[in-house]
Structure 1
Amino acid sequence: MAKSLYCPQKCKARCGRAGVKNRCIKYCGICCAECKCVPSGAYGNKHQCPCYRNKVSSKGKPKCP
């Protein structure tokens, strides 16, 4: 799979059931670009990607969906 398609495809799957899809896809894309991975499934599984799991916002909340 081409690297340029990895993040959009993984984030589309990750955010498929999100209430606010555009925001989910935006933050997932930021996290994916920095971490080079996205956990599988629509929720949870963050143990698969520690970088993605450990990113926090300026308020100390999880940054990545």
Structure 2
Amino acid sequence: MIFIFKTNVDSIAKVKKVAPKLNKLFPNSKWNFDLEDCDNILRFESKEDIMEKVIFLLKVIGFECEAL
């Protein structure tokens, strides 16, 4: 499944803050940020329904995140 999120992760420095946590919690998933998009899109490819977990994780570490 592919999940798409709107975030406020708008720089490489912020991606570097988020990346280790995403990799640790979702080791079998593929993800990437589109920092050129006005919504700073996070695309997630996972076999599991991880929508709520991703939103919760980003909010816990101080970022905004909502499903699109």
Q: TM-score range by the shorter chain?
A: 0.3 to 0.5
Give me the TM-score of the superposition, normalised by structure 2: 0.34
Q: Which has the higher contact order (CA 8 A, sep 6+)?
A: 2
More strand per residue: 2
